């Protein structure tokens, strides 16, 4: 009996695999074999062949198109990976170290590859200030490719590695649509990404071992996601994914805020925020009234944290760093007080307690203790406190802070952030009754669904 002929191609193979006579896995938009060698993957029914820059077949037959392409269009996966590691990740990490990343390993994961390319290209486009239409088209294509790859794998069978990749890709899509991109372009996408990320964490269990593994990139991505989810929950009235007690599990792990102990002031403040967000969810969606003793207990806890923080430079080694960290924690702590007064207690914008918390926070923001890197990571407090600033001197400080941060971060969403602040200030100056007496949820509903800030 004659041997069965060996099948070297499959129906629907890309042109690259057909030429090389290898089995294509049919992954779109780029199969694994083409991805591994950096080859352009093409599934078109008709392949163009060029003679002297003229197409001989297909819809472009007879048209002369230059063979040369500008370098900006010759997008290289390695370039995007390096940009992601060296330019983008440091903007999401306030420690002095960048997470250890195996770029070769990441480049073999098509789910992560597409998402990394999308966020890297989008950020590089905005950071460069280029108005090149080709770059804009490439940015949109990269985002669409990342979404297609994510959704395709979302609907397929999953193992633990795939779930981890899907979760990290989901975080990158949150960053893309909620921070890097203009909020007006994908206004509903951010909320859906956050909801989807919580679904992955709750039901698939793909990242259940991240805290135990202490791997740097997954921990960094998890810390970014849970912070975005928490601040989003505070603004929109959702329940946060992470319970208050779980924030201590970030102790001694490389999160975006650096490595701190489980009893650090920042983790305690984030746990308090988680409690506040859960109470806020009940207030908004169940018409709950928070008992006065609960409010007083939270307020006393915040005041206790403040009294235990260092106040002056005592000249000991590391004193300046401790003061800077205390100032960073204080900004978030005062913001928690504002939420307690406005969202849970229902106090108006011009109430003395609200304005006292705003003034105290502004003193820290305008002070000299916050380092530049720490200053870039107080966007959520700037939004909450900034919109309530009644005095022009305070607004000048906010504007200056946003401008300085915008230069470093190059996040397109900061433009929407600044426009939102200016609109609110105009209403406050006009003494608009709707704004002065508005509740927390109505006050932020214009920006809450589309923006991730921390």
pLDDT digits (tens, 9 = 90+) for 391-414: 999 999 999 999 989 988 888 888
Give me the long-range contacts of 12-19 (CB less than 8 A, separation at least 24). Answer: 12/43, 14/41, 14/42, 14/43, 15/42, 15/43, 15/44, 15/47, 16/40, 16/41, 16/42
Q: Is the peptide bond before 46 cis (omega within 30 degrees of 0)?
A: no
Q: How many angstroms separate the CA atoms of 274 and 246, rounded?
A: 10
Note down the domain range covering 171: 19-43+75-198
**HEC string for 408-435:** HHCCCHHHHHHHHHHHHHHHHHCCCHHH
Between the alpha carbon of residue 185 and those of residues 9, 413, 433, the distances in Å are 41, 10, 31
- Check whether 238 has a pLDDT greater than 90: yes
Q: Considering the domain boundaries, does residue 7 fall inside one? A: no
- Check whether 58 has a pLDDT greater than 60: no
Among 75-89, 177-191, 242-256, the minimum mean pLDDT is found in: 177-191
Tell me the CA end-to-end span of the chain in Å, nearest whole number.
Answer: 70
Q: Considering the domain boundaries, does residue 269 fall inside one? A: no
454, 377 Cβ separation under 8 angstroms:
yes
Q: What is the pLDDT of residue 186?
A: 56
280, 237 Cβ separation under 8 angstroms:
yes
> Average pLDDT of the chain?
83
- Which carries the bigger pLDDT value, residue 444 or residue 158? 444
Q: How many angstroms separate the CA atoms of 36 and 252, rounded?
A: 36
pLDDT band for position 301 (cuts 50, 70, 90):
very high
Q: How many angstroms separate the CA atoms of 373 and 394, rounded?
A: 21
- Check whether 318 has a pLDDT greater than 50: yes
Q: Considering the domain boundaries, does residue 222 fall inside one? A: no
Percent of the chain's residues with pLDDT above 90: 43
Contacts of 58 (CB under 8 A, 6+ apart): 46, 47, 48
Which token pair is 170?
Answer: 């989901």
pLDDT band for position 145 (cuts 50, 70, 90):
very high
Q: What is the mean pLDDT of the segment spanning 151-180?
A: 85
Neighbour count for residue 99 (Cβ, 10 Å): 19
Q: What is the pLDDT of residue 162?
A: 79
Nearest 5°: the CA angle 441, 230, 408 is 100
Q: Considering the domain boundaries, does residue 139 fall inside one? A: yes
Q: What is the mean pLDDT of the segment spanning 76-100?
A: 81
Q: What is the mean pLDDT of the segment spanning 136-144?
A: 88
Q: How many angstroms separate the CA atoms of 18 and 341, rounded?
A: 66
pLDDT band for position 317 (cuts 50, 70, 90):
confident
Q: What is the mean pLDDT of the segment spanning 103-129?
A: 88
pLDDT band for position 420 (cuts 50, 70, 90):
very high
Q: How many angstroms separate the CA atoms of 231 and 82, rounded?
A: 29
Burial of 116 (0-12, 13-18, 19+ CB in 10 A): buried
Q: Considering the domain boundaries, does residue 231 fall inside one? A: no
pLDDT band for position 178 (cuts 50, 70, 90):
confident
Q: What is the mean pLDDT of the segment spanning 433-450?
A: 88
pLDDT band for position 213 (cuts 50, 70, 90):
low
- Check whether 50 has a pLDDT greater than 50: no
- Check whether 357 has a pLDDT greater than 70: yes
- Check whether 65 has a pLDDT greater than 50: no
- Which carries the bigger pLDDT value, residue 367 or residue 207? 367
Q: What is the mean pLDDT of the segment spanning 10-33?
A: 77
Rg (CA), the chain: 25
Between the alpha carbon of residue 160 and those of residues 27, 156, 163, 206, 258, the distances in Å are 20, 13, 5, 5, 27
| Mean pLDDT comparison of 137-146, 193-202, 332-341, 426-435, highest-scoring range | 332-341
Which token pair is 361?
Answer: 């926070």
- Check whether 315 has a pLDDT greater than 80: no
Q: Considering the domain boundaries, does residue 217 fall inside one? A: no
Q: How many angstroms separate the CA atoms of 55 and 65, rounded?
A: 8
Among 17-21, 400-404, 437-441, the minimum mean pLDDT is found in: 17-21
DSSP assignment of 9-67: --TT--HHHHHHT------SSS-HHHHHHTPPP---SS---EETTEE-SSTTBT-B--S
- Check whether 340 has a pLDDT greater than 50: yes
- Check whether 11 has a pLDDT greater than 90: no
Q: Considering the domain boundaries, does residue 280 fall inside one? A: no
Q: What is the pLDDT of residue 20?
A: 66
Number of domains in the chain: 1
- DSSP class of 255: B
Q: Which of 87, 110, 88, 126 is nearest to 34 (CA)?
A: 110
Among 150-154, 185-189, 281-285, the minimum mean pLDDT is found in: 185-189
309, 265 Cβ separation under 8 angstroms:
yes
Crossing angle of the two packed helices 379-386 and 392-409, in degrees rounded to 10: 150
Which token pair is 241?
Answer: 């994914």
- Which carries the bigger pLDDT value, residue 199 or residue 207? 199
Single pTM value for the model: 0.80
290, 283 Cβ separation under 8 angstroms:
yes
- Check whether 417 has a pLDDT greater than 50: yes
Which token pair is 110?
Answer: 């098509």
pLDDT band for position 71 (cuts 50, 70, 90):
very low
Q: What is the mean pLDDT of the segment spanning 181-201?
A: 77
Q: Considering the domain boundaries, does residue 357 fall inside one? A: no
- Which carries the bigger pLDDT value, residue 62 or residue 148? 148
Helix or strand or coil: residue 368?
coil
Which token pair is 96?
Answer: 């002095």
Q: What is the pLDDT of residue 314?
A: 64
């Amino acid at each position: 009996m004659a041997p069965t002929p060996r099948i070297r191609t499959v129906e629907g193979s890309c042109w690259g695999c057909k030429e090389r006579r290898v089995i294509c896995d049919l992954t779109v938009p780029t199969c694994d074999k083409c991805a591994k060698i950096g080859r352009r993957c093409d599934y078109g029914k008709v392949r163009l062949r060029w003679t002297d820059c003229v197409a001989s077949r297909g819809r472009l037959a007879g048209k002369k198109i230059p063979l040369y392409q500008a370098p900006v269009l010759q997008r290289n996966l390695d370039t995007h990976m390096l940009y992601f590691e060296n330019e983008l990740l440091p903007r999401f990490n306030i420690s002095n170290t960048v997470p250890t990343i195996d770029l070769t390993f990441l480049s073999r994961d098509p789910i992560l590859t597409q998402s990394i390319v999308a966020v890297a290209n989008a950020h590089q486009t905005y950071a460069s200030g280029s108005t090149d239409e080709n770059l804009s088209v490439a940015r949109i294509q990269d985002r669409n490719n990342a979404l297609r790859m994510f959704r395709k794998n979302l609907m397929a069978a999953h193992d633990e590695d795939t779930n981890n990749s899907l979760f990290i890709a989901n975080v990158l899509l949150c960053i893309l649509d909620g921070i890097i991109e203009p909020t007006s372009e994908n206004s509903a996408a951010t909320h859906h990404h956050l909801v989807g990320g919580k679904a992955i964490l709750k039901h698939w269990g793909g990242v259940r071992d991240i805290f135990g593994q202490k791997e740097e990139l997954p921990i960094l991505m998890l810390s970014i996601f849970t912070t975005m989810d928490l601040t989003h929950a505070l603004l929109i009235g959702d329940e946060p994914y992470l319970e208050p007690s779980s924030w201590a599990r970030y102790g001694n792990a490389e999160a975006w805020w650096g490595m701190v102990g489980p009893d650090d002031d920042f983790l305690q403040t984030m746990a308090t925020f988680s409690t506040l967000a859960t109470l806020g969810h009940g207030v908004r969606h169940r018409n709950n009234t928070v008992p006065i003793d609960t409010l007083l207990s939270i307020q006393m806890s915040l005041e206790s944290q403040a009294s235990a923080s260092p106040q002056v430079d005592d000249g000991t080694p590391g004193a300046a760093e401790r003061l800077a960290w205390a100032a960073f924690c204080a900004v978030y702590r005062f913001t928690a007080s504002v939420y307690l007064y406005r969202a849970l207690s229902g106090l108006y914008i011009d109430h003395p307690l609200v304005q006292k918390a705003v003034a105290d926070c502004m003193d820290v923001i305008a002070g000299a203790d916050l380092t530049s890197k720490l200053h870039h990571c107080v966007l959520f407090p700037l939004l909450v406190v900034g919109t309530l600033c009644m005095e022009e001197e305070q607004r000048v400080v906010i504007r200056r802070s946003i401008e300085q941060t915008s230069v470093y971060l190059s996040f397109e969403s900061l433009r929407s952030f600044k426009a939102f602040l200016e609109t609110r200030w105009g209403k406050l100056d006009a003494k608009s009754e709707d704004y002065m007496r508005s509740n927390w949820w109505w006050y932020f509903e214009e920006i809450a669904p589309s923006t991730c800030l921390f």
